[in-house]
């Protein structure tokens, strides 16, 4: 009898799943995350780690549990950088 030790894979996340987790984000970000083929659980893991690192300023990055989690983290970190860029003040224009 053959016994598989592989964990069952979750279904690939949908645009609605990503929007529920991230809120109102650029549709291109949603597309990039979906292009990774990550599951809802993988996206959630990536989001939690990025938020923890941002909130606690952790210097040591956690090792992602899968390549897909790493890809999603990279997209989320890029989004974080874009959100933190200083936009010109409208009063100064």
Q: Domain spans of the chain?
A: 15-84
Residuewise pLDDT in 10s, the chain (93 residues): 444 444 445 789 999 999 999 998 899 999 999 999 999 999 999 999 988 887 765 555 677 788 999 999 999 988 877 676 645 555 555
Please tell me the predicted confidence (pLDDT) of residue 17: 93
- pLDDT, position 7: 46
pLDDT of 78 reads 87
CA distance 46 to 39: 11
Are 51 and 81 spatial neighbours (Cβ–Cβ below 8 Å)? no
How far is it, in rounded angstroms, from Cα 54 to Cα 77?
A: 9
- Smallest Cα–Cα separation from 43: which of 57, 32, 53? 32
Orientation angle between helical segments 40-56 and 67-84, nearest 10 degrees? 50
């Amino acid at each position: 009898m053959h016994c598989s030790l592989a964990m069952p894979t979750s279904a690939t996340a949908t645009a609605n799943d990503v929007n529920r987790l991230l809120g109102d984000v650029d549709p291109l970000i949603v597309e990039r995350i979906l292009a990774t083929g990550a599951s809802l659980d993988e996206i959630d893991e990536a989001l939690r780690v990025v938020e923890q690192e941002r909130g606690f300023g952790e210097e040591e990055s956690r090792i992602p549990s899968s390549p897909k989690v790493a890809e999603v983290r990279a997209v989320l970190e890029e989004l974080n950088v874009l959100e933190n860029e200083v936009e010109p003040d409208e009063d100064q224009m």
